[in-house]
Amino acid sequence: MSLAFQSRVTQVVLGLLVVILLVHFVIYLAFAAELIPFPFDYDQGEGHELYNAVLFSEGKCPYCTYEDYPYYSSNYPPVFHLIMMPLVAIFGPQYWIGRTIIFVSTLITGGSIAWAIFRKWHLGTVAAIAALSFFASNFIYHLGPLLRQHLLMVMFESLAVVILANAFDLAKPLRRRHLLIGFTLLLVAGYTKQLAYSTCIAVGLWALLRNPRIAIVYSLGLIAAAIGIFAVAEISTNGYWSLNLIAANRNPFIPEQYSGLLRQFVMLHWPLLILSAVSILYELFFDRLSLFSVWFVVSFASTIASGTWGAGDSYFATTIVSACILSGNTLALLVTKQGSLVPRLKPVGNLGLAAVVALLFVYSLRVIKLPTSGPIFGPIATALGVEPAPGHRYPLYDAAGWTVGYAVTGHFPSAEDYANGWYIVERIEESGLPAMTEDPGFMMRAGQDVVTNATQLNNLYVNGLYDPVQLVADIEAHRFGVIVLRARFYPQPVLDAIDSAYMLDEIVPMNGFNYELWVPKA
């Protein structure tokens, strides 16, 4: 078989793989297009992210109190909300603002994956496969268009790692610039979400292997900048900063949640994990250990945090990015003239290339997800005989199945979801009193201040940092015209007060959840 013929066969096979991955990408784009305009909370926590930006735009502090009315505080760092703030000041509290920002951040992350591959190998098709593998992941599909800060953190992490990966191979002036930009991006990532610590550790360890002096200098600079910002925030909020962002986040670890998520992650992504391991082994025996390899190992180890209450599949996103880059490196290695992991063994190289491509095909067919409703995907799903799993409450086929902590998103909002969301807003407006809702979008649409942040109050209560006596008194005094519950995430004394002073008036379905409307007892 001639070399030219082998090259053409390789191009055709890789082209077919790109086509399959592009189908995944189109489904991802369709989900984003359907979700971004939806005017209410779709996933728990979205509205609180948006309301933080509202508070910043009004010159108020999301961290400065929670004991008094409206009993609101946040455990989210400020970068995402500050990015939203100018647009929120212009357009008001619109969900499309934050969702668009996060969606674009995923595109940038995909671009950084492609650039990491192309910069080293100059293989456009391989770079495209690596980037599209990121969007094909069920985890990324469910998280990508949501108004949640995690994937913005991943974007900053990815940009930092890609910029730093070849910094020590550059001339001194350019090296300094790359190091400064990379470590600054790590700082921004950390103040987007605290989980960026794992990437900071990975970069520090790798830099220590390459140049201990530079690693120590820049790491100390990063630590000093982080501490300085923390100190300013702590002083300006009278200590509420650490209470809300650190003390309140000491949530219990749930072993079953972590084992379920880990099993689900491996089940979906095992081809990428194998290819990543091959890339790491090659670097250990035949090359130099790359930042991407260290990043993969450290980020994978840090996914154990996904077992804490309130965590979920988003904690695997950083590992998915690093796995896509390493898998791309393995594929590129075998596509190039090197031919194999062991030079001069051409047959082994051909067999290895076939195995790598086969694993990527398995991955592309393993992560299938398909909406089963709507004018486009509904007929396609019917023609293919694809249906949601038995007992699944969403019109979505998801090869991932479900486990505790897995995002219950991905289905397209329906006309009923829109109508019922506005109906809840009407009920709030008709009451003539402030409302108290777990999802704050209803209050914002009704022109009211957001009252409470259920999960944050519960976190504070569980950690002994909040006594809900005043909120309980307000509930017993019927201060709220309507209380809307979705998951009963409030502290137990608050739930007991609601059950005692209010009665269930109506259940309104939206996004697959039952929203309970409670009104004061006579």
pLDDT tens string 106-155: 999 999 999 999 999 999 999 999 999 999 999 999 999 999 999 999 99
Closest by CA position to 144, among listed 292, 302, 27: 27
Q: Indicate whether 390 pLDDT > 70.
A: no
Confidence check: pLDDT of 7 > 90? no
- pLDDT confidence tier of residue 9, bands split at 50, 70 and 90: confident
User: Where is pLDDT greater, at 48 or 350?
Assistant: 48
26 or 385, which is more confident?
A: 26
Q: What is the pTM of this model?
A: 0.95
Q: At what angle do helices 317-335 and 291-302 cross, to 10 degrees?
A: 150
CA nearest neighbour of 190 among 219, 222, 221: 222
CA dihedral 255, 260, 262, 264 (to 10 degrees): 180
Nearest CA to 277 out of 269, 510, 509, 366 is that of: 269
From the number of C-beta atoms within 10 Å of its C-beta (0-12, 13-18, 19+), residue 19 rates as exposed
pLDDT over 70 for what percent of the chain?
95
Encode pLDDT of 414-455 as tens digits.
Answer: 999 999 999 999 999 999 999 999 999 999 999 999 999 999
The residue-averaged pLDDT of 18-42 equals 97
Q: Kindly tell me the burial class for residue 231, based on how many C-beta atoms sit within 10 Å of its own C-beta (0-12, 13-18, 19 or more).
A: exposed
Nearest CA to 81 out of 181, 157, 187, 153 is that of: 153
CB-based contacts of 420, cutoff 8 Å, min separation 6:
508, 509, 510, 515
Please give the share of the chain, as a percent, with pLDDT higher than 90.
83
pLDDT at 349: 63
- pLDDT band, residue 345 (cuts 50/70/90): very low
Q: Is the separation of the CB atoms in 460 and 243 below 8 Å?
A: yes
Please report the pLDDT score of residue 339 as a whole number: 44
Kindly report the length of the chain: 522
Q: Is 327 in contact with 279 (CB distance < 8 Å)?
A: yes
Tokens for 216? 């120590």
E strand or H helix at 508: strand 502-510
For position 336, what pLDDT does the model report?
A: 84
